[in-house]
Chain A
Amino acid sequence: MKKFSFCLVFTILFVFLQSANSQTINNKNKALSERIANYDISVKLDSEAKTVSGELTLNWKNTSPDTLNELHFHLYLNAFKNTQSTFMQESGGGALRGVGMDKNDVLSWGYCQVSSITNTKKEELINSFSYIQPDNKNTHDQTVAKLMLNQPLNPCETIELKIKFETKLPKIFARSGFADNYFLVGQWFPKIGVYEHSGIRGAKNGQWNCHQYHASSEFYADFGVYKVDINVPSEFIVGATGILLNEKTGSEGTKTLSYLAEDVLDFAWTCSPKFKVIESEWNDVKISVMMQPDHLKQADRYIESLKIALEYFTEHVGPYPYKHVTVVDPPLKGMGSAGMEYPMFITAGTLWKLPDGLRFPENVTIHEFGHNYFMAILATNEFEEAWMDEGMNTYFETRIMDESYGVHSAWIDFDFYKQGDLESKITGYNYSEKNKIAPSNQFSWLYTSGGYGMMSYNKPAVFLSTLDKMLGRETMDNIWKTYYKRWKFKHPSTKDFCDIVKEVGAIKYEKLYQSNIKDFLYQSIYTTRVCDYKLNSISNTKIEPDYGLYKKDGKNLNIRKEDAPQPKFKYLSKVNLLRLGEFTVPVEIKVTFANGEEKTTVWDGKERAHIIKFNTDSKIISAQIDPDYKNILDINLSNNSYTLKPKKSGLWKLTVKFLFAIQNVFQFFSAFI
C-alpha cells in the first residue's frame, strides 16, 4: 500500500510535469511519456543470411501497484517460423493483404530466437523463459513468451535485462522482412508486452496484455527511449525511427549507425543499397523519403502529401512531437511491407509511371502518417480496439484527402471516373453485403469470417464522419483536441474516447437533435445495426368542411356540407417515413411545397413508421430525409427522398452515358469478324 502511494505520487508528478511541458514538447530533457519500456539495442545485419543479431538491454519500469513475478514478451517474427503458428493458420497458410508467402524458398521463413537473458547480477534466466499462448490453445505458436523472475519486481521498481537474440527475417509478405537486398525490419526484437494495471483501459485487475501475432491484428506497446546501433554492409543506405546520432565505419566493409528515439513505442528500420534519399523540411521537422530509383519522380507526391498531413494534424488534433519523419518507398518485391506505420517512420508505396489520377501514394502517405497520432501518440491497443487506430485514422485520412484533392475526386481522378476518399470508404461499408458481420469493437483476431478491414477502417470512418456532420466541424475538432491533450502518450480505450465525445459534444447534440449522443456511440461501436431510413410517400388530401349533426347551446344542429364553414387550410399533407434499419439516429426532414416554401423538421428516428402532417394551402411536392447528407451511415440514399415532380435529366444523363458506352463496346467487338 505504501509502495502504491509512492507510485501514485510519482504518477501525479509525471502528469504535472507533462502538462507543464506541453508547450516545450520534444525538449530532449523532458519526458513526454512515462518511458516504461526502454531499449538499448546493438545489432548486426547479415545481408546474405538475412539475419539481424545482437543484444539488447531492456530497462522496464513497473509503474503498476502490483508486485510482478513474471514478464511477458512478444517474439513476433516467430509467426513466420512454420505453418503451425497462429498467424499462418489464421491467414490461410501465410498471406496478408493479398500478398502470399513464398514457401518454396527456405529463406522465406523467419524467427526471433532468444539465446540468453541475464539480469544485472549476471544471472542467466533463459531457463525460465517459455512460450505461452494467451489467446488460444495453439501450443505451436511461439510469438509470446513468459519470463519467470527469480525475484519479484515491486511497484515502481525498474528491472534491467540483457537479452541476446537472433532474428531471421522472413521473405516479405507481411510487413517485415527482406526482398533481395531490401530490408524492412519491423517487429524484430524481443519486445516486452504491456502490463495493464487496474484502471488502465478498464482493467479490473492488473494483467499482462501481450497477445500472440495474429493475421488480422496489429500491435500494442509502452513508450520508452530507444537507443539503437545498427551495423550493416557499408554500401547500404539506412533509415529508421528516431534521429541519426552518428555513423561510424566498422570492420570488414561495414558501418554502424546510431539512432535515438525518445517517447516512442516501437522502433523499425530499413536498408537497401538502392535507396535514393530525398530530404525536405516542414517547420522544424526533417523529412526523409527513401525512394526506389524507378520511383524517384514521385518523391514529390510523398513529400507534398506528408506536409499536408503534418499541417492538418497539427491544426486539427495537436502538434507532431518529433523532429523527424521517414517515408520508405518499397520495391515491388517488398510490397508486402508497404503501407505500414511505425513511430516517426512509415512505409508508403507506388508504382512506376503511376498516373497522377490514382492518388495511392498520397493516400497511403497521409494514412500511415496519421498513425503517428492514432497509435503512436494516442497509443491504443490495436489487438483489442483496432477501430481506434485504423478507424479514427481512416476518418482523418478521408478528411485530409477530400479537402486537399476534392470531395468527389480525391482517390480516383480521371475524366471518365472520379471517386472521393470518403466515398470509397462509404462504398466499402454501406454497400457491402457483410456490413453486419461484426461490431467495430471486436478483438481484431476474432473477425474469423472476415470484416476486420470493414469494421476497423470503413465503418468507423463512416460513423465518425456522420458525427462530424451532425456536430459540426468546430465541435468535432474540439473532441479531437481534447482527446489528444488528455491521452497523448497513454493508452486510451473506447470508453475514454466516448467520454470525451459525451463531454464535448453532448450538449450540442442534444440541443440540435433532442437525442442522446450515447445512443449514437453505442450503436456505432458496439452493435452491428445498420441505418436505413425511407421516405415512403407523400400525399396531399383536400380538407373537406366539417358537417353533420352537432349540438350547440343545447340545440341539435344539422349542418349541411354547403353551409359548413370553409376549412382554414386547403390540404392535409402527409409525409410518410419508415425506418428500415435497426440503427436509430435523429434525422432532418425537409419538405418543399408547391409555392416554393420549405420547412425543415427533426425526427428522432426511433419509431418504425412516422408520419409528419401539415395543414397547408399549398401541396407538398417533395420531401427529403437528411437533405444536407449528414447521416453518412444511411445505406440507401435512393430511398431518402420522394418527389412528385422528378427531374429526369440525371437519369437521362446516366442513360446517355450507358448508351454510348455500350455502343462503343459493341462496335469494338464487331471488329472481330
Chain B
Amino acid sequence: MTIKKAYTNGFQLAIRSPRMIFTLYITNFLLVALFALSFNSALQSAVGNSMLFDNFLKNDNSLVLSDILNNGGEGILAIIGQLRWGLIAYWLLNIFLVGGIIRTFNKQRYSLNMFFGGAGHNFPKLLGLSILITLTHLIVIGLIVFTTSLGIDQFSHKFESERMYVITVAIGFLVYLLIAVILFLASDVSKFYLLLNDSNNFLKAYFKGIGFVFRKFLKIYALYIALLIVPVISFYLFTKINGDIGMNTGVGLLIIFGIQQVFVYIRFGFRVWILGSIFEFYADDLLLNNRIALDKERLSELAAQKADLSKMMIAKVEAETSTNDVELEIIPPVSDLEEKTVDTETEETFDYDFEEQKDSENQNDQNDEDFEDNENDYPEKPVG
C-alpha cells in the first residue's frame, strides 16, 4: 500500500468515526472534569468570598496563584496530589478504549455494544502490551540518559561551555524521539496483530510489531511523519488563536474553553487517524501475504480497495461473503489445513491481491526473514 493511500484511508476511517472519537474525547473530558470541578469547589470554599480573584480574569498574576496555593487550604493541594491516581486510571481506561477502536476498524462500523465489547475482550492482552511498551520506553530513556551522562562524564573536561551539554542532551532527546516513533508505530502494529490474530501472546505481538516496522521502515516512518504534519500545524494555529483571543473577558474565556475542547477533540481525531492509517497499512500487508484470514466482510473491502476492482466485482465478493460474520479466523499451520475448510472466497480475494501487488517479491523476502524463527506458525505461501 502506498503511503498516500494509507494516509487517506486512515483519514477516512477517522472522519467516518465521529462517535468513536467522541467516546474517546468524552471519557477524557469527564474524568478530568471530575478533578476540575473538585478543584473549583475547593477554590470556592477556600477563597470563594475573597476578592483576590476579582481581577484575575483581566490579569492573572503569579502572586495570586502563589497565594491561593499557599493559603487556599489543604483541599487544592490534595486534589493536585490525587491527579496521579487519575492519570493511572486514565491510562487504564485508554487501554480499554483502544480495544474498542481496533475492533471498530476491523468491523468498519461503530456500535456502542461492539465498541465496548471489543474493549472488554481485548483489555487484558492490551494491558500486558501497554506495560511492555511503557517499560520499553523507560528502558530506552534509561539507556539514553545513561549513555549521554557517560558521554558527558567522559568528555565534559573538553566542553568549553554549556553549549556542548545542551547539544548532547538535545541529541539524546532527538535519539529518543526517533526511537519513540518506532516504538509508537510498533506498539500500534502489535495491537493490530494481537487483535487480528486474537492472540494473547503480547510479547510475540510486540516483536512482530517491531519486526514489521523495521521491514517497512522507510515507508511507515514516512507515513508517521506525514501523519504528524496536520497535528503540528493545528497546534500552531491553536496557540496563535488562543493568544490572540485571550482569556481576559467572560466571553473570551468561553470562546477559549470551546476552542480548547475542539482542539482536544481534534487531537483524538488525529490519534484515530494515525491508528487508522497504520491499521490500513498493516492490514493491507497481512492481506497481501495471506498471513491470516480477516473478517470476511472487512477482507473483501480491503481487497476491493487495493485491487481497485470494478463495483461489480466488489458486489460479487460481498454477495458471496455477506452471510459470514465470523470475526476473526486464524489460518492454521499448513499441517492443519486439511482438517479445516478454507473458504474459496478467500482464495479469490487473494487472486486480486496478487494481480495488484507491485513490490510483493521484495515484501515476501522480508517477510520470510521475519517469520523464519517460527515458520510453522503460518503458511509461507498463500493458501491454495
- Measured CB to CB, the residues of A under 8 A from B are 274, 292-295, 331-332, 351-353, 408, 412, 415, 417-420, 423, 426-427, 430-431, 622, 624, 635-644, 646-660, 662-667, 669-673
Contact with A along B64-108 (1 / 0, CB 8 A): 111111111000000000010011001100110010000000000
Given the contacts A651-B48, A672-B137, A663 and B67 also touching, CB distance less than 8 Å: no
Given the contacts A419-B62, A656-B253, A662 and B40 also touching, CB distance less than 8 Å: no
Given the contacts A638-B47, A672-B134, A294 and B163 also touching, CB distance less than 8 Å: yes
B126 lies within 8 A of A673 (CB): yes
A653 lies within 8 A of B253 (CB): yes
A670 lies within 8 A of B94 (CB): yes
Residue B376 CB within 8 A of the other chain: no
Q: Given A295, A641, A656, which contacts B50 in the complex, CB threshold below 8 Å?
A: A641
B250 lies within 8 A of A417 (CB): no
Q: Chain A residues near B68 (CB, 8 Å)?
A: 638, 654
Q: Which of B13-21, B256-264, B311-319, B348-356 interfaces with chain A? A: B256-264
Q: Chain B residues near A351 (CB, 8 Å)?
A: 162
Q: Given B53, B61, B137, which contacts A423 in the complex, CB threshold below 8 Å?
A: B61
B184 lies within 8 A of A663 (CB): no
Q: Chain B residues near A353 (CB, 8 Å)?
A: 163, 166
Chain B binding surface, main DSSP class: helix
B187 lies within 8 A of A673 (CB): yes
- Report how far A642 CA is from B52 CA in the complex, Å: 9
A650 lies within 8 A of B32 (CB): no
Given the contacts A332-B161, A423-B61, A669 and B91 also touching, CB distance less than 8 Å: yes
Q: Chain A residues near B129 (CB, 8 Å)?
A: 673
- Report how far A658 CA is from B64 CA in the complex, Å: 15
Given the contacts A331-B160, A650-B56, A671-B184, A666 and B247 also touching, CB distance less than 8 Å: no
- Report how far A624 CA is from B47 CA in the complex, Å: 13
Residue B384 CB within 8 A of the other chain: no
Chain B, range 34-68, C-beta contacts under 8 Å to A: 35-37, 39-40, 43-44, 46-57, 59-68
With both beta carbons as reference points, the residue of chain A lying nearest to B36 in the complex is identified as A659
Given the contacts A423-B63, A672-B137, A651 and B44 also touching, CB distance less than 8 Å: yes
Given the contacts A292-B161, A408-B61, A639 and B50 also touching, CB distance less than 8 Å: yes
Given the contacts A331-B160, A655-B40, A662-B35, A670 and B90 also touching, CB distance less than 8 Å: yes
Q: Given B39, B133, B257, which contacts A673 in the complex, CB threshold below 8 Å?
A: B133
Known A651-B48, A673-B94; 16 more pairs at CB < 8 Å: A292-B161, A352-B161, A637-B63, A638-B67, A638-B71, A641-B52, A643-B49, A646-B48, A649-B56, A653-B253, A654-B43, A660-B260, A662-B86, A663-B264, A672-B137, A673-B126
Q: Chain A residues near B87 (CB, 8 Å)?
A: 665-666, 669
- Report how far A323 CA is from B32 CA in the complex, Å: 61
Q: Chain B residues near A664 (CB, 8 Å)?
A: 264
Number of A-B contacts (CB under 8 A): 193
A651 lies within 8 A of B90 (CB): no
With both beta carbons as reference points, the residue of chain B lying nearest to A431 in the complex is identified as B70
A431 lies within 8 A of B163 (CB): no
Q: Given A274, A638, A644, A650, which contacts B57 in the complex, CB threshold below 8 Å?
A: A650
Q: Chain A residues near B23 (CB, 8 Å)?
A: none
A593, chain B: closest CB distance, angstroms:
15
B71 lies within 8 A of A656 (CB): no
- Report how far A658 CA is from B162 CA in the complex, Å: 34
Q: Chain A residues near B66 (CB, 8 Å)?
A: 423, 426-427, 431
B28 lies within 8 A of A639 (CB): no
A663 lies within 8 A of B28 (CB): yes
- Report how far A415 CA is from B36 CA in the complex, Å: 22
- Report how far A332 CA is from B65 CA in the complex, Å: 33
A294 lies within 8 A of B35 (CB): no
- Report how far A433 CA is from B267 CA in the complex, Å: 42
- Report how far A292 CA is from B162 CA in the complex, Å: 11
With both beta carbons as reference points, the residue of chain A lying nearest to B57 in the complex is identified as A649
Q: Chain A residues near B165 (CB, 8 Å)?
A: 332
Give the size of the chain B interface in residues (CB under 8 angstroms): 72
- Report how far A293 CA is from B187 CA in the complex, Å: 45
B71 lies within 8 A of A636 (CB): yes
A660, chain B: closest CB distance, angstroms:
5
Residue B337 CB within 8 A of the other chain: no
Q: Chain B residues near A665 (CB, 8 Å)?
A: 83, 87
B326, chain A: closest CB distance, angstroms:
28
Q: Chain B residues near A635 (CB, 8 Å)?
A: 71
Residue B8 CB within 8 A of the other chain: no
Residue B29 CB within 8 A of the other chain: yes
A272, chain B: closest CB distance, angstroms:
11
Residue B226 CB within 8 A of the other chain: no
With both beta carbons as reference points, the residue of chain B lying nearest to A538 in the complex is identified as B49
Residue B33 CB within 8 A of the other chain: yes
Residue B168 CB within 8 A of the other chain: no
Residue B321 CB within 8 A of the other chain: no
A646 lies within 8 A of B57 (CB): no
With both beta carbons as reference points, the residue of chain A lying nearest to B260 in the complex is identified as A660
A652 lies within 8 A of B59 (CB): no
Residue B130 CB within 8 A of the other chain: yes
17 contacts across the A-B interface (CB closer than 8 A)? A274-B160, A295-B161, A423-B63, A642-B50, A643-B54, A646-B53, A649-B250, A652-B253, A654-B68, A655-B39, A662-B32, A663-B264, A667-B28, A667-B267, A670-B28, A673-B91, A673-B130
B334, chain A: closest CB distance, angstroms:
35
B307, chain A: closest CB distance, angstroms:
34
With both beta carbons as reference points, the residue of chain B lying nearest to A274 in the complex is identified as B160
Given the contacts A622-B51, A673-B94, A656 and B28 also touching, CB distance less than 8 Å: no
Q: Chain A residues near B98 (CB, 8 Å)?
A: 673
Q: Chain B residues near A653 (CB, 8 Å)?
A: 56-57, 60, 247, 253
Q: Chain A residues near B52 (CB, 8 Å)?
A: 637-638, 640-641, 650
B94 lies within 8 A of A658 (CB): no
- Report how far A666 CA is from B69 CA in the complex, Å: 22
Q: Chain B residues near A662 (CB, 8 Å)?
A: 32, 35-36, 83, 86
- Report how far A122 CA is from B207 CA in the complex, Å: 87
With both beta carbons as reference points, the residue of chain A lying nearest to B136 in the complex is identified as A672
B67 lies within 8 A of A408 (CB): no
A331 lies within 8 A of B161 (CB): yes
Residue B139 CB within 8 A of the other chain: no
Chain B, range 239-298, C-beta contacts under 8 Å to A: 239, 243, 247, 250, 253, 256-257, 260, 264, 267-268
B243, chain A: closest CB distance, angstroms:
6
- Report how far A641 CA is from B64 CA in the complex, Å: 13
Residue B178 CB within 8 A of the other chain: no
- Report how far A665 CA is from B32 CA in the complex, Å: 10
With both beta carbons as reference points, the residue of chain A lying nearest to B90 in the complex is identified as A666
Contact with A along B314-332 (1 / 0, CB 8 A): 0000000000000000000
B95 lies within 8 A of A673 (CB): yes
- Report how far A640 CA is from B64 CA in the complex, Å: 12
B49 lies within 8 A of A649 (CB): no
Q: Given B43, B159, B160, B264, which contacts A667 in the complex, CB threshold below 8 Å?
A: B264
A333, chain B: closest CB distance, angstroms:
8
Residue B174 CB within 8 A of the other chain: no
Residue B228 CB within 8 A of the other chain: no
Residue B31 CB within 8 A of the other chain: yes
- Report how far A639 CA is from B48 CA in the complex, Å: 10
- Report how far A595 CA is from B133 CA in the complex, Å: 64
Q: Chain A residues near B43 (CB, 8 Å)?
A: 651, 654-655
Q: Given A352, A430, A666, which contacts B86 in the complex, CB threshold below 8 Å?
A: A666
B208, chain A: closest CB distance, angstroms:
17
With both beta carbons as reference points, the residue of chain A lying nearest to B188 in the complex is identified as A673
B207, chain A: closest CB distance, angstroms:
18
With both beta carbons as reference points, the residue of chain A lying nearest to B256 in the complex is identified as A656
With both beta carbons as reference points, the residue of chain A lying nearest to B37 in the complex is identified as A655
B373, chain A: closest CB distance, angstroms:
27
B53 lies within 8 A of A651 (CB): yes
B260 lies within 8 A of A672 (CB): no
Q: Chain B residues near A332 (CB, 8 Å)?
A: 159, 161-162, 165
Contact with A along B143-168 (1 / 0, CB 8 A): 00000000000000001111101100
